[in-house]
Amino acid sequence: MNLQWHNLPFRNYFGYLLLIHAGSLGKIARSSIKKSGEPRRGTHTYRKFLPGAKKFLRDEINSLPLSPMKLLMLLVLPCLPVPGEIVLQMEMLSATAKTTPKYIDIMRDREVFDRVTTFGLLEESSHFILDIVQLLTFTPTEKYLYEDIRKFRYYFWNTLSKYKWGYIEKDNLKSLLASGPELAKSFSRVIEYGFGNSDPRTLMREFNIPMTEKMRLNEHDHAQDLLQYSQVDALKGGDLIAANMISLMMSRPNRRIEAMKKNSGREDSAVNDDLSVSILNRSIAVGGVGGE
């Protein structure tokens, strides 16, 4: 398995642990370590694994909840490359803390985990991810905060372009996740929906995300644009029958709006909302709808 440190989404967690271990051996400058033994924020040089470093990592990983993330980290550990340089930008509870930090609990809940990892790969904001996580049903003590999502992403799923993650890193991660049947099954939703290859509506249905009126209207406009392009192609090809059929399809929604306004006496916004739902539920065969 050919791995590079920067390709690992959990590199910050591993780096944090490696620095704790180095500090416990006195192999790191005192100025880089707090009194608690935790490394300070900043850039740290780490050019070779110290004795017992990988065992320390394995013990800490084994203390985490059973999850796809734990499986992935244990799989990578034997082939782990030396980081060379470890950059820490965020505080974290001690690896030996008695209470489990709330953001680590994200691993325990598969529905939460799948949402954070999938939409994290899609570069959605932590605020957006928190919103879709909160659509799930929780008890008051189970609810997550913005900081929980943010810290989980920083330490365990660091796939943002602002941390110099790009197409190459994502392609390498996808290959890694699909490298074995157990791993591929554990990350099946991430593999299918997290790399930008699925239709947006399919993605939203998979994770039970309600569409807003603005989203519906945007999809309606996109569908109309596709029909218009198809009509132009039909006219260029001399297919007048197809062009006329497309023209009817494009005018039908507008006629229906006027009819609904006249017959129901409802507000325009409600009529448009009903129409958007109708259009989204219709299958338009010319050109397709949606995509990346």
Interval 145-173: pLDDT, tens:
898 999 999 999 999 888 888 888 999 99
**pLDDT at site 274:** 44
**pLDDT at site 190:** 96
168 by Cβ neighbours in 10 Å (0-12 / 13-18 / 19+) ranks as exposed
Give the whole-angstrom CA distance, residue 214 versus residue 276.
9
Which helix or strand (DSSP H or E) is residue 178 part of?
A: none
Q: What percent of the chain has pLDDT over 90?
A: 38
Residues 3 and 80: beta-carbon distance below 8 Å: yes
**pLDDT at site 12:** 92
**pLDDT at site 138:** 72
Q: Average the pLDDT over 167-184 and give the result.
A: 92
Q: pLDDT category, 28, cuts 50, 70, 90?
A: confident
pLDDT digits (tens, 9 = 90+) for 215-274: 556 555 656 665 566 666 667 777 777 667 656 665 655 544 444 445 444 444 443 444
Q: pLDDT category, 204, cuts 50, 70, 90?
A: confident
- pLDDT of 127 above 50: yes
Report phi then psi at 246, rounded to 5.
Answer: -65, -40
* DSSP 8-state code for residue 98: S
DSSP codes of every residue in 14-65:
HHHHHHHHHHHTT-S-GGGB-TTSPBPSEEEEE-SPPTTHHHHHHHHHHTSP
**pLDDT at site 101:** 74
What 3-state DSSP class applies to 286?
A: coil
- Tokens 């033994």 label which residue? 37
Residues 6+ apart with CB under 8 A from 204: 210, 211
- pLDDT of 134 above 70: yes
Mean per-residue pLDDT over the chain, rounded = 77
**pLDDT at site 192:** 94
**pLDDT at site 272:** 43
**pLDDT at site 167:** 86
Distances (CA, A) of 151 to 74, 155, 205, 281: 21, 6, 27, 38
Q: pTM above the 0.75 mark?
A: no
Q: Average the pLDDT over 15-37 and give the result.
A: 79
**pLDDT at site 115:** 95
Helix axes 213-236, 268-281, angle to 10 degrees: 60
- Tokens 């989203």 label which residue? 215
Of 56 and 262, which is predicted with more confidence?
56
Of 28 and 250, which is predicted with more confidence?
28
**pLDDT at site 161:** 85
- pLDDT of 176 above 90: yes
- pLDDT of 43 above 60: yes
What 3-state DSSP class applies to 85?
A: strand
Residues 274 and 260: beta-carbon distance below 8 Å: yes
Q: Please enumerate, as own/partner, the contacts of 69-77 that have beta carbons within 8 Å and a separation of 24 or more.
A: 69/10, 69/107, 69/113, 69/156, 69/157, 70/107, 71/182, 71/183, 71/186, 72/10, 72/176, 72/177, 72/183, 72/186, 72/187, 73/10, 73/14, 75/180, 75/183, 76/1, 76/3, 76/8, 76/176
Of 283 and 151, which is predicted with more confidence?
151
**pLDDT at site 154:** 92
**pLDDT at site 287:** 35
